[in-house]
Chain A
Amino acid sequence: MPAHRSTMGSKFRTRSSSPMELRPMLSEVSVLSRSDGSASFSQGDCCALAAVYGPGEVKVAKELSDKASVEVVFKMKVGLPGCKEKIQERILRNTCETAIAATLYPRTAIDIVIQEMHNSGSFLATCINCVCMAMLDACVDMKYLVAAVTCGLNSEGELILDPTLEQESDLTALMIFAYESSNFEVIATYTTGSFTSDQFQICLIHCREASKHIFQFFRDTMARKLSK
């Protein structure tokens, strides 16, 4: 199945121009031939590849009688998986469990594998977006789409949306929010650094606005794929 590309390069400018814009996004679906669904997603230089296998056979130990059992494996470019990868797998797995209409597939397993291609800042958000695209490609029934946005606060208290790896090093706080597409409520958050409650609320609101662009990007990519 030919891969379908979609870019949003023209709408979003690069990092140096404005801190309130997302990095240009690029996505290809159906990149892998053997999986039920796959997608590669990149935001700026940051790139991830996800594959979805399912709903399929489940091991008896992991079988759930009323819904699908979702399993996520996160593969880094170098090194052996450690505790840090476990926390990311936990976040991805719980986010997918909420988004997938798991009760439609009892006693099955949905396996998701994510491969880090290039980490250039805000990587967890890229992974979540990539997994959502892969699930769309696999045609797994979902309750809503999930989009993740990262934002950082620097020492002056300014908000920087979607920071790159260089920008990440001098931030006092970094926050990742994942939103769902029906009511734009928060599904997942992950933060580093310390901040006040007001700063948290401001970041929440700005990231919500940015997530709407990502949802539109998902729709455009799938529309292009299906129109061929």
Chain B
Amino acid sequence: MAADFKTAQPVEYYRKFVEKDVRPDGRELGEIRPTMINIGSISTAEGSALVKLGNTTVLCGVKAEVTNPKSEEPDKGIIVPNVDLPALCSPRFRPGPPSEQAQVVSQFMVEVIQNSGCIDPKDLCIKAGKHVWVLYCDLVCLDYDGNVTDACVLALMAALKNVSLPKVTLNEESGNLETHMQEKWGLNILCQPVATTFAIFDDCIVFADPTDEEENLATGKVTIVTTEEDKICFVHKPGGSPLSDDKLQNCLQRSFIRAREARNLVETTLVNVDR
């Protein structure tokens, strides 16, 4: 009978739970789903990570290539994130060109990397003006159960921490690049941004970490990306219900706590990785 009520009146069904400060999956309003991270599983990639946030699964692989730098920035390397939401992950995505959602999340990743300054592009320079590293970060969503943004940011950060590049030097006489496969170096990650997404329901209730059903019923969303020392690097509220100052402040506090937990999780996972 509950299933019939849920299909006929999804909003009323949710309201009944929210009145008692819980959600249908048993979580409290501010609770985040259990997070599982697996790092270094793809041996052909320079760095990789798999993140499961409840059922939402995102896989990130980082491949590195040597390329010519942009003429405006001859001593800076390039990082190219790309998020793919294939038809596999959810019935709402059809095969074909990237959906608007995929493009928005890809742009979101570009902004997070730029705003947080987690990697200094100058570290990726081999010979200024001629050769720089380009890191292609491909994020694929395998199961879309809401809040793919948080999972993507976590997967990207974990994969970047896992990246190990061979030392490349330029032979001055022959002009060729020499790769020393035995000497590997990891990226110098200056800070670790962590994203927390909240959904606004009925114009007044704020949930953390919405599932796919909750996202469909939500009247608004806020994503906050924070780095170490409680600095905020991105607040993204693309329209949706208006939010009062104190609710926004609560979301900020909650995202600081979540960021610390997520960073600890990544650290403990990295300790156990072979590479």
Query: A residues bordering B, Cβ < 8 Å?
Result: 83-84, 86-87, 89-98, 175, 178-180, 183, 185-197, 200-201, 204
Contacts and interface: CB of A to CB of B under 8 A. Distances in A.
B230 A189 contact: no
Q: Shortest 3 CB-CB distances between A and B: which pairs?
A: A94-B239, A185-B242, A95-B239
A71 to B, nearest CB: 11
Most B C-beta atoms less than 10 A away, residue of A83, A180, A191? A83
Contacts of B106: 83
Nearest to A96: B239
Interface residues of B, number: 37
B103 interface: yes
Contacts of B248: 186, 204
B213 interface: no
B239 A196 contact: no
A81 B117 CA distance: 26
A102 B237 CA distance: 20
A197 B252 contact: yes
Interface stretch (B37-45, B66-74, B108-116): B108-116
A187 B242 contact: yes
A80 B227 CA distance: 33
B107 A86 contact: yes
Contact of A84 (B107, B115, B231, B236): B107
Contacts of B234: 191-192
Contacts of B108: 87
B232 A191 contact: yes
A86 B238 CA distance: 12
Interface in B197-249: 219-220, 222, 227, 230-245, 248-249
Nearest to B203: A98
A83 B116 contact: no
Given A194-B227, A196-B232, A90 B238 contact: yes
A97 B227 CA distance: 31
A150 to B, nearest CB: 14
Nearest to A97: B239
B107 A83 contact: yes
B100 interface: yes
B232 A197 contact: yes
A194 B111 contact: no
A94 B240 contact: yes
Contacts of B273: none
Contacts of B111: 87, 192
A125 to B, nearest CB: 14
Contacts of B253: 197
B88 interface: no
B249 to A, nearest CB: 7
Nearest to B108: A87
B233 A193 contact: yes
A194 B111 CA distance: 11
Nearest to B219: A98
Contacts of A200: 232, 235, 252
Nearest to A190: B236
B36 interface: no
Given A192-B111, A194-B233, A195-B232, A204 B245 contact: yes
Contacts of A91: 238-239
B100 A90 contact: yes
7 contacts: A83-B104, A96-B239, A186-B245, A194-B115, A196-B232, A197-B232, A204-B248
Contacts of B244: 183, 185
A87 B106 CA distance: 9
B195 to A, nearest CB: 13
A91 B234 CA distance: 14
A89 B104 CA distance: 9
Contact of A194 (B103, B116, B236, B240): B116
A94 B242 CA distance: 11
A87 B109 CA distance: 11
Contacts of B233: 191, 193-194
Given A87-B238, A189-B235, A197-B253, 9 more contacts: A83-B110, A94-B220, A178-B239, A186-B243, A189-B237, A192-B114, A193-B115, A195-B232, A197-B230
A187 B227 CA distance: 24
Interface in B86-116: 100, 103-104, 106-108, 110-111, 114-116
Nearest to B221: A94
Contacts of B232: 191, 194-197, 200
B243 A185 contact: yes
